[in-house]
Amino acid sequence: MTPEDSTLQPAPRPAPLRAVVFDLDGTLVDSAPDIAASLNATLVALGRGPLPLPRVLGNVGHGMRHLIARCLADSGGGAEDEALIDRALGLYRAHYAEHLADATRPYPNVPEVLEQLAESGLKLAVCTNKPEGLSQKLLAALDLAPFFPVVVGGDTVAERKPHPAPLLHAIKQLGAAPGDTLFVGDSAPDEGAARAAGARFAFHTEGYAQGPTEDYVAEFRFGRWDAFLALVRRRGVAA
């Protein structure tokens, strides 16, 4: 053993966790097909042509009004027309409320992972930019609602992600603190909210992120949910 080797120390064990908060679309569930179907039904009702799925996905993550405005811009214009956005938003919400679970499914292993996290004593919540009522309805339709006593949507507080307020509200409702909470998300608004709130962040690489993600500040990255569970178990649960 060289002098240099003798000075090497094992990597410090991550601090135990008390709570895990999840984004919804692109993180817990693959909801892109139903979002796109309702969005395109809205555009057709407005006399426009449908958009391809990748174009729709490029506008997901910043809230429903942003989605509508950007898709109007991409389909012929109107992103500055508040009356048109309001009309389109009403059409979209009505259609999506009836079809939000037609093709949407949890990512593989998500229900099993949530069950094991809950059994370990971790407190669980959802923090999404989707409206709270629709989020609750989707979670119930997919049999995920029992895992989440706290659901914070894009209309629960005055701000939306990447502002830290929704995430901090969820953490407070769980009785946890940012430093012992892991926020799990798939996009820039999620990473930004975690960083601004002082929470730890895990990046789901198989979600709906657009553009470069190399600069995301993440405690870890994962693609498979069984891998996520193993990574959380390494951190332990705070007493």
Q: Is 23 a catalytic site residue?
A: yes
- Sign of torsion over alpha carbons 196, 199, 202, 206: negative
Annotate 106-134 with b (16+ C-beta within 10 A) or e (fewer).
bbeebbebbeebeeeebbbbbbbbbbbeb
Going through 41-178 in order, the beta strands assigned E by DSSP cover 105-106, 123-127, 150-152
Helix (H) or strand (E) holding 222: strand 220-222
Could you count the other beta carbons within 10 Å of the beta carbon of residue 82?
11
Name the catalytic one among 23, 25, 30, 190. 23
HSE-up of residue 101 (Cα within 13 Å, Cβ side): 12
Could you give the 3-state DSSP secondary structure of residue 167?
helix
Active site residues: 23
